Amino acid sequence: MGYDVAVIADSTSRWAEALREMSGRLEEMPGEEGYPAYLSSRLAQFYERAGIVDCLGGENRRGSLTAIGAVSPPGGDTSEPVSQATMRIVKVFWGLDASLAYARHFPAINWLTSYSLYLDTLKPWFDGNFGADFNQNRSKTMALLQEEAELQEIVRLVGQDSLSPPDRLTLETAKMIREDFLQQDAFADIDSYTSYEKQATLLSLVLYYNELCKDALAKGVENIQTLFDIPVRELIGRAKSVPPSEYEEKYRILAQDMEAQIGAIVKGGDEA
């Protein structure tokens, strides 16, 4: 029997402000921005309580304690001492983005500013449970999202029509990743929680679409919009609503339909 406890430090910033106030009243030597010099060590003492624990009172009783710190710096400036000290200690950062929340994209976690420094530690587990493709697909996904952010700057200046077909494909695939994979509906039971297996398969399906479209462009397809308008494209957008007991078969059929429909476009171009 195990016990899992999550502790959310909702007021890390306010706690640090109180620490600065107390330090000032005690006339201690101030550190950066008036915070006490021992700010980092005090934060570390709090977060070091998280981990796996062996419970007393019986054998094989293990549990975990998870500490999640919520830091809200003025103006969203994460370069201030409390944010930087917290990020150095926890090695994981979820950056909430107001622009995503206003766009009704939930969870409103910015995929470009968020990170985890435990990827190398978790790699053996992911490789053993999902194969080497999982981490490779994750890297491809992050590269596509980063490239999309760079292309959006060009789109704002000259418009999307001026982009090359491969760049337009990058924008379309990144849009699928954002809307069809990352975005969730907390009020839908089937979407509020998804197993690792289903996530990995859905992400592979989106990236497979990208690879098939790249291959089609290389084979001479000129009108990239025809690749975006295939019927299976809309079905991929609804794929996350497939029940857990059915997703393997449904995703396999989607992959086959995708191959057939894109293959027909390529063949039609060759015949023309």
- Shared-domain flag, residues 59 and 146: no
pLDDT at 32: 72
Residue 98 within any structural domain of the chain: no
Q: Total structural domains in the chain?
A: 2
Which among 12, 37, 10 is positioned nearest to 26, based on CA atoms? 37
Which among 94, 92, 181 is positioned nearest to 141, based on CA atoms? 181
Domain boundary residue, one of 35, 69, 90? 90
Residue 115 within any structural domain of the chain: no
pLDDT at 262: 97
> Is this structure's pTM higher than 0.95?
no
pLDDT at 272: 44
- Shared-domain flag, residues 131 and 184: yes
- Shared-domain flag, residues 136 and 255: yes
- Shared-domain flag, residues 17 and 75: yes
Phi-psi region at 76: left, alpha or beta (left = phi > 0; alpha = psi -120 to 50): left
- Shared-domain flag, residues 179 and 51: no
* Domain region containing 82: 2-90
Residue 169 neighbours by CB distance under 10 Å: 21
Phi-psi region at 159: left, alpha or beta (left = phi > 0; alpha = psi -120 to 50): left
- Shared-domain flag, residues 150 and 51: no
pLDDT at 1: 45
Domain boundary residue, one of 72, 90, 108? 90
178-202 confidence digits (pLDDT tens): 999 999 988 888 888 889 999 999 9
Q: Which two tokens mark 224?
A: 């990239």
Q: Are 184 and 192 in contact (CB under 8 A)?
A: yes
The segments of the chain whose pLDDT lies below 70 read 1-15, 17-19, 22-23, 25-27, 33, 269-272
Q: Are 136 and 148 in contact (CB under 8 A)?
A: no
Residue 250 within any structural domain of the chain: yes
Q: Find the CATH number of the domain harbouring 173.
A: 1.10.1140.10
pLDDT at 9: 52
- Shared-domain flag, residues 230 and 132: yes
- Shared-domain flag, residues 77 and 172: no
Contacts of 194 (CB under 8 A, 6+ apart): 184, 240
- Shared-domain flag, residues 157 and 204: yes
